[in-house]
Chain A
Amino acid sequence: MEILKACNLMKTYGEDNNIVYALKDLSLTINKGEFVAIVGSSGSGKSTLLHILGGVDKPTSGNVYLNEKDIYTLNDDDLSKLRRKEIGLIYQFYNLIPTLNVRENIKLPLLLDKKEVDENYFNELINLLNLSNRLTHLPNELSGGEQQRVGIARAFINHPSIILADEPTGNLDKANSLEIVKLLNEANKKYNQTIIMVTHDLNLAKYASRIITISDGQIIDDKVYNEKSE
């Protein structure tokens, strides 16, 4: 079932002679429950694509449909609501709110949505992400791996339609990186959660069910794998 569709996305920076194409007429479709890895060299446009898909950066032209809704036709309030309800973002630098503790950071999207927390799901998540003994800590008291796990929990807490992870392991060591990707894989399987992950690490990309390769703002390869790495 198609959940996300991008049509003829174009993103440029600069003007006239200095114009730089980050995305060139890129189109793609993502189905529900897919774990997609977008790979490519630095500057290939993979992060730009992810941010445009997540509604945090606007394309120069083209459309993005999430659950058949063109997200860039929405006004600011509705786009905020969409980000809150439908999209979970995971960043390379975790981007947690420094003044909120782990529990508060994870629950923040629900708080903004004025929704009550499903305590069972919350406990399940923190157990899965091994954060149960870190709930009252502030972000600056956590390791990088722990902070990223909080970032993942925050992205998952609202049952979004899609999780977008921008180099989630870019700031972590090999062991932690592997752990994070495994967790994403596990969550994908357990909750049938659609995940799009940008990475430049091909070894980690192998955990995804589909790998899209981007170069110079265009898709040069798109492969679906039935057997995933363990």
Chain B
Amino acid sequence: MKRRYRHLSAGAVSVALGAALWHVVRVRPTPSVSVASLVADALPASGVSHNVTAVLLNFRSYDTLLEVAVLLAAAVVALALRDEPSARSPAHVMYVALDAFVWRLAPLLVLVAAYLLWAGSTRPGGAFQAGSVLAGAAVLLRLSGLKVTAVDHRLASRGAMTFGLVMFLCVAIGTLLAGQALLEYPAKWAGALILLIEAALTISIGVVLYSLFDNAPQARVSDRESERQRER
């Protein structure tokens, strides 16, 4: 009974929301303000030639700063909940062919990440994309049983995790001390500073995303449960 009531009420709420969204998409008003044209006008002064990167790291760089803090919050909790070394199971070695493949793929992925970072200033790409490719390479290596340094409680790990945020903060506080607004880059250095922040962020985002994978606790199945599974 209770289950049925739950399905019915959830269905009613979802259908109502879907219908309302559908309706407003159909009769949508036309806005009078166009920030897109403001972005286009200010682009030459932003230090980069790709407009999305300009929004992310110049016009709305403060959003990006807080976003990096969100990522750090998740990474810190993961670190706090990390299993003790004794409870961690060793990585599984799976297939020889996969090993060989991944081993050759990894350097290529690092190259792709570097390209994505560099491309960010002129075309789609940037720190997050490059960082996720780096993290992906590390996850692949780890899954195929190759040894990847653990992102654990050591100072080196924590330093790598926060490196991007430290750089970002240094630039931010630097602009304040120079008497500018927060993250107001001097026109001459805008491009260089953005690249500096992005490069540092790429490393940290890669490390943090990999750490979120590496630090996830083992989902241990109890002895009874595993016995039951073996019988099947």
Co-assembled chains A and B: no
Q: Using a CB–CB distance below 8 Å, which chain A residues touch chain B?
A: none
